[in-house]
């Protein structure tokens, strides 16, 4: 995960999922390298900033955390929190040690260009469905968004200062934007009528 230029200087660190059980617990999907750190940030803010939510406890489950939210004591109250995204102020986050680490929020909105400088679009979202981060890109030519793996091979350059990243997408990801095919064989010269056989 990594930093991004958002006006309110907050980073989304988690999203509440479905209610878990009958005592007010919820499934919590975190966007941090260590899922348990989200419980150490203290009060978190909702996306609109009108409410704070505090995680009273959390335990790991299969691909998510099971969390207790302060003052949420029954399933009905937990269900009302489904899909609420939780934010923390950037200044409460640890500094990133590695130049190749980024908060997801820092990537959203970056321009996406090909290795040849072609405008491919912009980053719409960053997802992790369990097999590594994926960038969801809104193509410059319109149409549905496309997904590319957020790996060094596919995204060799991330330049936050310039507000862009370079993508070397697999063939077919951006329709109409694939490089021209290279000739793979040469035609052999034909023998003239008087040539030896």
Backbone torsions φ then ψ of 150, nearest 5 degrees: -90, 75
The confidence score (pLDDT) of residue 192 equals 42
Q: Is residue 186 in some structural domain? A: no
Task: Please tell me whether residues 75 and 122 are part of one structural domain.
Answer: no
Task: Please tell me whether residues 56 and 30 are part of one structural domain.
Answer: yes
CATH of the domain at 22: 2.40.30.60
Task: Please tell me whether residues 80 and 112 are part of one structural domain.
Answer: no
Domain of 149? 108-167
| pLDDT per position as a tens digit, 10-48 | 888 889 999 999 999 999 988 877 888 888 888 999 988
Q: Considering 91, 122, 156, which residue would you say is the last residue of a domain? A: 91
- Residue pair 15/82 in contact (Cβ under 8 Å)? The answer is no
- Residue pair 100/65 in contact (Cβ under 8 Å)? The answer is no
- Residue pair 68/16 in contact (Cβ under 8 Å)? The answer is no
Q: Is residue 1 in some structural domain? A: no
Q: Is residue 67 in some structural domain? A: yes
- Residue pair 119/140 in contact (Cβ under 8 Å)? The answer is yes
Task: Please tell me whether residues 25 and 86 are part of one structural domain.
Answer: yes
Would you tell me how many other CB atoms lie within 10 Å of the CB of residue 112?
Answer: 26
Task: Please tell me whether residues 58 and 27 are part of one structural domain.
Answer: yes
CATH of the domain at 149: 2.30.30.240
For the chain, list residues with pLDDT below 70: 1-8, 97-100, 128-131, 175-197
Say which residues have a Cβ less than 8 Å from residue 3's Cβ, sequence separation at least 6: 11, 90, 93, 96, 102, 103, 105, 106, 160
The confidence score (pLDDT) of residue 175 equals 65
pTM above 0.85, yes or no: no
The confidence score (pLDDT) of residue 102 equals 76
Task: Please tell me whether residues 83 and 141 are part of one structural domain.
Answer: no
| Structural domains counted in the chain | 2
């Amino acid at each position: 995960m990594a930093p991004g230029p958002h006006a309110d200087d907050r980073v989304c660190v988690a999203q509440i999922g479905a209610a878990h059980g009958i005592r007010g617990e919820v499934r919590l999907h975190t966007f941090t390298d260590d899922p348990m750190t989200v419980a150490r940030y203290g009060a978190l803010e909702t996306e609109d900033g009108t409410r704070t939510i505090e995680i009273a406890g959390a335990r790991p489950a299969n691909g998510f955390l099971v969390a207790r939210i302060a003052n949420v004591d029954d399933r009905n109250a937990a269900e009302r929190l489904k899909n609420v995204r939780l934010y923390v102020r950037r200044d409460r986050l640890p500094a990133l040690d590695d130049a190749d680490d980024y908060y997801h929020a820092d990537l959203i909105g970056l321009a996406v260009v090909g290795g040849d400088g072609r405008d491919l679009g912009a980053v719409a979202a960053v997802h992790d469905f369990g097999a590594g981060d994926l960038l969801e890109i809104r193509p410059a030519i319109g149409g549905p968004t496309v997904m590319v793996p957020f790996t060094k091979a596919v995204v060799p350059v991330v330049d936050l200062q310039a507000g862009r990243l370079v993508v070397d997408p697999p063939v077919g990801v951006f329709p109409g934007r694939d490089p021209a095919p290279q000739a793979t064989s040469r035609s052999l010269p034909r023998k003239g009528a008087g040539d030896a056989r």
